[in-house]
């Protein structure tokens, strides 16, 4: 797995920050994790049990390029209990939490006429519901200047994931309004999980120096 972070000019925009990034076995999640680590953040990544190998590649790349450890936490984000446990693990191991990146998985490419109720429920649990559970668990540990960034899966030809993306977008905007007075920034990017080139957008939204006054927006990447 090769990430665009390899060609990134480091400016230490996240020095001292602590980040939890889900979907660490995907192209986008891995690229975000490596880029954040290069910029000075301590990173914990989660992945599904069948993506541990890819997550380990990301961890190794981080340790080589940034000279810092990377924690891997495999598990099922469709399980609310795991979402809560994951946040607490990151808080305990990193000594706190400043950034949450809720990275939605790649959609299954089934046409609308083959969509099932079970498939629709799976799409929402893996993306929207996981985002909600992670955010709820993380918010008590966040403070002024912290950031939550969601990825909304881009698949306009797939009805289930298009619905998920719309829900993620609206939840992001509502949560941003609710947490504005606490100085916690909530934003999203609209990108496919395989688009590693969306990682700089996550860095921009995570960086207090770049996006301290930006909250409640959805950045489209390559859509």
CA atoms of 122 and 118, how far apart (whole Å): 6
CA atoms of 187 and 217, how far apart (whole Å): 5
Residue 18: count other Cβ atoms within 10 Å of its Cβ.
21
Helix (H) / strand (E) containing 203: helix 199-206
Of 161, 171, 187, 188, the active-site residue reads 161
Q: Is 221 left (phi over 0), alpha (psi -120 to 50) or beta?
A: beta
The string over 159-190, giving b where at least 16 C-beta atoms fall within 10 Å of a residue's C-beta and e elsewhere, is bbbbbbbebbbebbbebbeebeeeebbbbbbb
Closest to 26 in 3D by CA, of 52, 62, 61: 52
Q: Is 161 a catalytic residue?
A: yes
CA 91 distance to own-chain centroid: 16
Bridge partners (DSSP) listed for residue 20: 44, 100
Q: Which residues are catalytic?
A: 161
């Amino acid at each position: 797995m090769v990430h665009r972070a390899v060609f990134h000019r480091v400016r230490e925009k996240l020095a001292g920050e602590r980040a939890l990034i889900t979907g660490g076995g995907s192209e986008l999640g891995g690229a975000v994790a490596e880029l954040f680590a290069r910029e000075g953040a301590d990173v914990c990544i989660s992945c599904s049990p069948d993506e541990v190998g890819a997550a380990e590649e990301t961890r190794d790349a981080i340790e080589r390029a940034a000279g810092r450890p990377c924690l891997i936490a495999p598990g099922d984000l469709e399980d609310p209990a795991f979402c809560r446990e994951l946040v607490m693990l990151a808080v305990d191991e990193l000594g706190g939490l400043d950034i949450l990146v809720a990275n939605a998985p790649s959609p299954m490419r089934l046409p609308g006429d083959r969509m099932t109720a079970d498939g629709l429920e799976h799409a929402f649990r893996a993306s929207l519901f996981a985002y909600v559970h992670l955010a709820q668990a993380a918010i008590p540990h966040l403070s002024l200047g912290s950031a939550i960034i969601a990825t909304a899966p881009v698949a306009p030809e797939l009805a289930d994931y298009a619905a998920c993306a719309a829900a993620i977008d609206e939840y992001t905007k509502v949560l941003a309004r609710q947490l504005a007075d606490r100085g916690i920034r909530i934003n999203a990017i609209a990108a496919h999980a395989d688009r590693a080139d969306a990682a700089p957008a996550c860095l921009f939204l995570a960086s207090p120096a770049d996006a301290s006054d930006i909250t409640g927006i959805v950045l489209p990447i390559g859509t």
